[in-house]
């Protein structure tokens, strides 16, 4: 397949001014009539008019009122090229598509009998011929016609301007979007849906209509999405001065969806997972996920829709910025400083768990990639999460006010345009009169930089030197890296654990935390007036997406864990302490040492954990995070040669040791963090449940009657899904007598709640004793289907990505299973298949026996006939 390069960007030969579309919706054959008015781009004399189309039947093509002869155009490889077109063109196109056969869930498709579209990135070309690229922005008017009984609701972007009956049992609706938009933001929905609606008054006094559309029977699960939408609207007005520009804003939930949600102008389409919630079916994490995704899609209305991307290489321009905005929104919704810190820790955990491995693997790419084969493969954690970190660094360097000034200038300059990441950087620089030239490297260089810290204290001169060095390992196609512009937030602790006032040589006093700007390979920062040898707290609030290498003693880490005023670094110190111990034990296990009870005798770690457990003045949510050991994936990233079984053994062993040594403390935490009464998903209650349930998960490691009874009782009495699911997970991962019965009652109770059945599959996919054989058995369950992405993700991704010690079974059975499923999914849904194909990204980090088996599985997939370019790109890059 063809590689597309950023350097090859050329503007389109024609602009599209208006788009009129008529749909005759029928699941078997939908007829689409399109009228485009187009104007030649002045810079492209003599160039032909180029439209994209995929899986379409072309019925008619007319230009300026006349049918186009076969000699006037060519149609091959998804491109319709019209030669010698005049400067002003009206093109009329009639196409046919087959929505009910569309299992890719891109373009127009059917889900549970209703019609939906998904056009980002290149799905519009599956609906009609069009210059399907984000820099072509046009005004759309859309008429939908369909059977009135089967499809009573007809929705598209913008405002409803007309509706009525057609007389033959069919009806129609006409929608007009007043704003110019790229084709990827087009949407339609038709079917049997109902909505919760509310009128909402904006700060300006204008009234807008908000709607959340779902299938009948789900109306009792829309309140949280509606509340989240209202909060998002208010937040964007207050924090960024951005107002909703439409009179009507709709959210529609669909059960078959490739990703989380889609920001189509005025008609957001959501995976049901990010809309439906009530205490019976949704966990605290689900409630938080809904708030953040509703926010994310709403915020795109400005960052993505009003100002969009010139080309798909600029994807992070909208995604990185919008993730940053949704992260800030969620943090502000919690409202407290410690809540903000917990949110920050959560976001960094995601980055380390998923983005750091990506940045060190075969699919590593810059935040603004230089090439791709299939753009769908570039909706990555690098574009989203690292992209957000890059945006956050502007705020760290410029301050909140400076960042806001940059945002204001960005909209002032680019509203209604399709632009590049460089335009955003220029707005930030110009609004603040700063030179951000070097900052460009965050967009152009892949890889996670490493920052090393050296310190020297001079007690006589009362000076403290902090030397920071940076380097970045090579990534595919990029051997040498230039130094990044890295904001490093620092503080210094005195021996009592308090922050020292900071006096940086050559600078005015800057409080107790300051941002150092590391721009060279190596730089020394000198602090004066330092009365005693400090303990440094570096990279506070995780001020840059880097790996910080610093030699702390165990005692210093325990000290920071107990005292650092920066909650992020307080958490980080505990993670470092635990990681160090787990890596030591893993080496022991690999050397043939059998872990015995006294190996768990780890006074510094145990006492730090005890202190944290007993620190009841701290937020429960914070304590939960501080007491959670780094995940198996994060530990694996720290090893030169990954040994999944050893990691699993050690992590479990350490958890059991901590469970045993702190037995009483866990029980106290369990009892004192109960949340009796009516369930509420607010951050404080969710934090308490989080700590209580973490305590249960430690206690169940002991697998004794006491723990079994605790888990069973919690399962039986739970009044919300969070408590119930955690209890069920505890039972399933133990030898409790009630575990099989609990799994069955859970299934029976929630048989008709698809999102809960996804949890049921996921829970089993990630259970300790679930091997390939068990997963194959689960695939035979009547509720399992590969066609539904949520279901496939629960079981297959759950196992391949969330159960490392079983997936990496030494006989290679996990890899053979993976290859089979990637191939099966490839025929149904290439996008989902390509995501699963990423599970073997890090194969070169494993022991040679496993490597050989992984390579064989990758080759098996790569050699399969009829492979989509989505999957082919992933496996080819993995094998390269």
Contact 202, 438 (CB under 8 A): no
Binding mask 317-356 for Zn ion (x = CB under 5 A): --x--x----------------------------------
Among Zn ion, ligand HT7, none, what does residue 570 contact (CB within 5–8 Å per kind)?
none
Sign of CA dihedral 48, 53, 54, 60: negative
Contact 132, 183 (CB under 8 A): yes
The least CB distance from residue 869 to Zn ion, in Å, is: 23
> How many CB atoms sit inside 10 A of residue 845's CB?
17
Cα torsion 180, 184, 188, 189 to 10°: value is -140
Q: Which stretch binds ligand HT7 (CB under 6 A): 69-77, 254-262, 605-613, 617-625?
A: 254-262
Q: What share of the chain is helix, strand, coil (3-state, %, to 5)?
A: 45, 20, 30
For residues 18 and 36, give the distance between their C-alpha atoms in angstroms, rounded to a whole number: 6
Report how far Cα 661 is from the mean position of its chain's Cα atoms: 37
Q: How are strands ordered across the β-sheet holding 463-471?
A: 522-527, 463-471, 450-458, 547-549
107 contact partners, CB below 8 Å, separation of at least 6: 54, 55, 97, 117, 118, 119, 123, 124, 125, 126, 127
69 contact partners, CB below 8 Å, separation of at least 6: none
Q: Which is nearer to ligand HT7, 135 or 319 (CB)?
A: 319
The closest of 773, 782, 854 to 812, measured between CA atoms, is 854
Q: Among residues 21, 38, 63, 259, which is the contact residue for ligand HT7, using CB under 6 A?
A: 259
Looking at the annotation, which residues are catalytic?
297
The least CB distance from residue 293 to Zn ion, in Å, is: 9
For residues 510 and 4, give the distance between their C-alpha atoms in angstroms, rounded to a whole number: 48
The least CB distance from residue 785 to ligand HT7, in Å, is: 18
Q: Which is nearer to ligand HT7, 619 or 758 (CB)?
A: 758
Binding mask 272-311 for Zn ion (x = CB under 5 A): ----------------------------------------
Q: Which stretch binds ligand HT7 (CB under 6 A): 259-267, 596-604, 664-672, 748-756?
A: 259-267
Q: What is the DSSP letter of 619?
A: -
Q: Which is nearer to ligand HT7, 300 or 842 (CB)?
A: 300
The least CB distance from residue 261 to ligand HT7, in Å, is: 6
Among ligand HT7, Zn ion, none, what does residue 262 contact (CB within 5–8 Å per kind)?
ligand HT7
Q: Which stretch binds Zn ion (CB under 5 A): 313-321, 444-452, 563-571, 869-877?
A: 313-321
The least CB distance from residue 150 to ligand HT7, in Å, is: 25
Q: What is the CA radius of gyration of the chain?
A: 28
Q: Which stretch binds ligand HT7 (CB under 6 A): 130-138, 274-282, 296-304, 665-673?
A: 296-304
Q: Which residue in this structure is represented by tokens 């070309």?
A: 125
The closest of 755, 857, 780, 851 to 214, measured between CA atoms, is 755
Among ligand HT7, Zn ion, none, what does residue 259 contact (CB within 5–8 Å per kind)?
ligand HT7
Three-state secondary-structure class, residue 487: strand
Contact 15, 87 (CB under 8 A): no
Q: Does 262 engage in binding with ligand HT7 (CB under 6 A)?
A: yes
Number of residues counted as binding ligand HT7 (CB under 6 A): 13
For residues 570 and 342, give the distance between their C-alpha atoms in angstroms, rounded to a whole number: 11
Among Zn ion, ligand HT7, none, what does residue 120 contact (CB within 5–8 Å per kind)?
ligand HT7
For residues 636 and 653, give the distance between their C-alpha atoms in angstroms, rounded to a whole number: 16
The least CB distance from residue 355 to ligand HT7, in Å, is: 15
Q: Which is nearer to Zn ion, 307 or 573 (CB)?
A: 307
Strand 308-309 versus strand 267-271 pairing type:
unpaired
Q: Does 379 engage in binding with ligand HT7 (CB under 6 A)?
A: yes
Q: Among residues 26, 122, 177, 297, which is the contact residue for ligand HT7, using CB under 6 A?
A: 297
Q: Does 125 engage in binding with ligand HT7 (CB under 6 A)?
A: no
**Helices 830-837, 869-879: crossing angle, 10 deg rounding:** 10
Q: What is the DSSP letter of 59?
A: E
Q: Which is nearer to Zn ion, 307 or 669 (CB)?
A: 307
Q: Which is nearer to ligand HT7, 296 or 793 (CB)?
A: 296
Q: Among residues 118, 382, 826, 868, which is the contact residue for ligand HT7, using CB under 6 A?
A: 118
Q: Does 826 engage in binding with ligand HT7 (CB under 6 A)?
A: no
The least CB distance from residue 267 to ligand HT7, in Å, is: 13
Tokens linked to 73: 């155009």
Q: Does 870 engage in binding with ligand HT7 (CB under 6 A)?
A: no
Q: Among residues 128, 231, 232, 258, which is the contact residue for ligand HT7, using CB under 6 A?
A: 258
Binding mask 299-338 for ligand HT7 (x = CB under 6 A): -x------------------x-------------------
The least CB distance from residue 442 to ligand HT7, in Å, is: 20
Beta-carbon-side half-sphere exposure of residue 477 (alpha carbons within 13 Å): 14
The least CB distance from residue 253 to ligand HT7, in Å, is: 13
> How many CB atoms sit inside 10 A of residue 862's CB?
17
Q: Which is nearer to ligand HT7, 315 or 466 (CB)?
A: 315
Q: Which is nearer to ligand HT7, 388 or 608 (CB)?
A: 388
Contact 313, 369 (CB under 8 A): yes
The reply to whether omega before 121 is within 30° of 0 (cis) is: yes
Q: Among residues 54, 92, 120, 541, which is the contact residue for ligand HT7, using CB under 6 A?
A: 120
For residue 159, the cross-strand partners are 176
The least CB distance from residue 402 to Zn ion, in Å, is: 24
The least CB distance from residue 275 to Zn ion, in Å, is: 16
Helices (H) and strands (E) in the chain, counts: 29, 31
For residues 838 and 854, give the distance between their C-alpha atoms in angstroms, rounded to a whole number: 12
In the complex, which residue's CB is closest to ligand HT7?
259
Q: Which residues 731-750 are close enough to bind ligand HT7 by CB under 6 A?
A: none
The closest of 173, 174, 175, 179 to 139, measured between CA atoms, is 179
Contact 294, 269 (CB under 8 A): no
Q: Which is nearer to ligand HT7, 722 or 788 (CB)?
A: 788
Q: Which is nearer to Zn ion, 319 or 499 (CB)?
A: 319
Q: Which is nearer to ligand HT7, 258 or 537 (CB)?
A: 258
Tokens linked to 107: 């373009």
Q: Write down the H helix ranges in 376-499.
A: 381, 387-414, 421-432, 441-444
Among ligand HT7, Zn ion, none, what does residue 291 contact (CB within 5–8 Å per kind)?
none
459 contact partners, CB below 8 Å, separation of at least 6: 532, 533
For residues 373 and 377, give the distance between their C-alpha atoms in angstroms, rounded to a whole number: 8
Three-state secondary-structure class, residue 810: coil
Q: Which is nearer to ligand HT7, 118 or 141 (CB)?
A: 118
For residues 315 and 338, give the distance between their C-alpha atoms in angstroms, rounded to a whole number: 32
Tokens linked to 182: 């790229």
Q: Which is nearer to ligand HT7, 124 or 807 (CB)?
A: 124
The least CB distance from residue 114 to ligand HT7, in Å, is: 16
Q: Which stretch binds ligand HT7 (CB under 6 A): 114-122, 407-415, 671-679, 776-784?
A: 114-122
Q: Which residues bind ligand HT7 (CB under 6 A)?
A: 118, 120-121, 258-259, 261-263, 296-297, 300, 319, 379
Q: Which residues bind Zn ion (CB under 5 A)?
A: 319, 322
């Amino acid at each position: 397949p063809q590689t597309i390069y950023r350097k090859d960007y050329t503007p389109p030969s024609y602009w599209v001014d208006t788009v009129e579309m008529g749909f005759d919706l029928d699941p078997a054959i939908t007829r689409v009539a399109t009228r485009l008015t187009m104007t030649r781009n002045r810079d492209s004399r003599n160039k032909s008019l180029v439209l994209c189309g995929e899986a379409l039947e072309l019925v008619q093509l007319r230009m300026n009122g006349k049918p186009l002869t076969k000699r006037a155009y060519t149609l091959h490889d998804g491109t319709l090229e019209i030669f010698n077109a005049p400067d002003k063109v009206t093109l009329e196109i009639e196409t046919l598509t087959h929505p009910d056969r569309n299992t890719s869930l891109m373009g127009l498709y059917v889900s549970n009998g209703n019609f939906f579209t998904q056009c980002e990135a290149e799905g519009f070309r599956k609906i009609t011929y069009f210059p399907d690229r984000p820099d072509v922005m046009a005004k759309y008017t859309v008429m939908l016609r369909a059977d009135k009984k089967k499809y009573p609701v007809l929705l598209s972007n913008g405002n409803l301007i007309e509706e009525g009956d057609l007389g033959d049992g069919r009806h129609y609706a006409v929608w007009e979007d007043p704003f110019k938009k790229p084709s990827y933001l087009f949407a339609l929905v038709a079917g049997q849906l109902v909505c919760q609606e509310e009128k909402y008054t904006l700060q300006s006094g204008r009234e807008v209509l908000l709607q959340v559309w779902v299938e009948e029977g789900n109306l009792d699960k829309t309140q949280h999405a509606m509340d989240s939408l209202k909060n998002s609207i208010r937040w964007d007005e207050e924090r960024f001065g951005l107002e909703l520009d439409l009179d009507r804003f709709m959210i529609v939930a669909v059960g078959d969806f490739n990703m989380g949600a889609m920001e189509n102008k005025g008609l957001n389409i959501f995976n049901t997972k990010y809309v439906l919630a009530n205490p019976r079916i949704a966990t605290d994490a689900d409630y938080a996920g809904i708030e953040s995704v509703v926010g994310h899609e709403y915020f795109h209305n400005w960052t993505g829709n009003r100002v969009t991307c010139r080309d798909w290489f600029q994807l992070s321009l909208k995604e990185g910025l919008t993730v940053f905005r949704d992260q800030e929104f969620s943090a502000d919704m919690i409202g407290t400083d410690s809540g903000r810190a917990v949110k920050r820790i959560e976001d960094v955990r995601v980055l380390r768990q998923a983005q750091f491995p990506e940045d060190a693997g075969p699919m590593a790419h810059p935040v603004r990639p230089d090439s791709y084969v299939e753009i769908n493969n570039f909706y990555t954690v690098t574009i989203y999460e690292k992209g957000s970190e890059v945006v956050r660094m502007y705020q760290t360097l410029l301050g909140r006010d400076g960042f806001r000034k940059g945002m204001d200038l960005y909209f002032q300059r680019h509203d209604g345009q399709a632009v590049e990441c460089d335009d955003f950087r220029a707005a930030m620089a110009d609004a603040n009169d700063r030179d951000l030239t070097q900052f460009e490297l965050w967009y152009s260089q892949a890889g996670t930089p490493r920052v090393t810290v050296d310190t020297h204290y001079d007690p006589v001169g009362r000076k403290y030197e902090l030397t920071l060095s940076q380097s970045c390992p090579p990534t595919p196609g990029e051997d040498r890296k230039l130094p990044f512009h890295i904001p490093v937030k620092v503080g210094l602790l005195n021996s009592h654990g308090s922050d020292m006032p900071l006096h940086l040589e050559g600078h005015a006093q800057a409080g107790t935390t300051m941002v150092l700007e590391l721009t060279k390979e190596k730089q020394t920062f000198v602090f004066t007036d330092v009365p005693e040898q400090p303990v440094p707290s570096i990279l506070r609030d995780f001020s840059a997406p880097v790996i910080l290498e610093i030699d702390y003693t165990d005692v210093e880490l325990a000290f920071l864990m107990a005292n650092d005023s920066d909650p992020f670094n307080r958490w980080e110190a505990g993670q470092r302490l635990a990681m160090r111990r787990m890596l030591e034990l893993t080496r022991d296990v690999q050397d043939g040492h059998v872990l015995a009870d006294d190996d768990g005798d780890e006074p510094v770690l145990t006492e730090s954990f005890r202190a944290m457990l007993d620190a009841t003045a701290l937020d429960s949510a914070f304590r939960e995070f501080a007491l959670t050991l780094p995940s198996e994936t994060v530990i694996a990233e720290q090893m030169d040669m990954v040994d999944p079984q050893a990691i699993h053994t050690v992590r479990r062993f350490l958890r059991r040791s901590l469970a045993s040594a702190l037995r009483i403390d866990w029980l106290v935490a369990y009892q004192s963090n109960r949340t009796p009464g009516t369930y509420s998903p607010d951050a404080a209650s969710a934090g308490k449940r989080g700590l209580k349930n973490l305590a249960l998960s430690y206690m169940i490691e002991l697998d004794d009657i006491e723990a079994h009874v605790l888990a069973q009782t919690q399962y039986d009495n739970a009044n919300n899904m969070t408590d119930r699911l955690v209890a069920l997970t505890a039972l399933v991962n133990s030898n409790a007598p009630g575990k099989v019965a609990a799994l069955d009652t859970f299934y029976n109770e929630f048989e008709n709640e698809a999102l809960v059945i996804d949890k049921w599959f996921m829970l089993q996919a990630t259970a300790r004793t679930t091997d390939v054989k068990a997963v194959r058995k689960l695939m035979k369950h009547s509720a399992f289907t590969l066609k539904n992405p949520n279901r496939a993700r629960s079981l297959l991704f759950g196992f391949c990505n969330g159960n490392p010690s079983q997936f990496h079974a030494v006989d290679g059975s996990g890899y053979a299973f993976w290859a089979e499923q990637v191939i099966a999914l490839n025929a149904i849904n290439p996008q989902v298949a390509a995501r699963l194909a990423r599970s073997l990204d890090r194969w070169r980090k494993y022991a040679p026996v496993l490597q050989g088996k992984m390579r064989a599985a990758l080759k098996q997939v790569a050699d399969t006939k009829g492979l989509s370019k989505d999957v082919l790109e992933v496996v080819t890059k993995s094998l390269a």
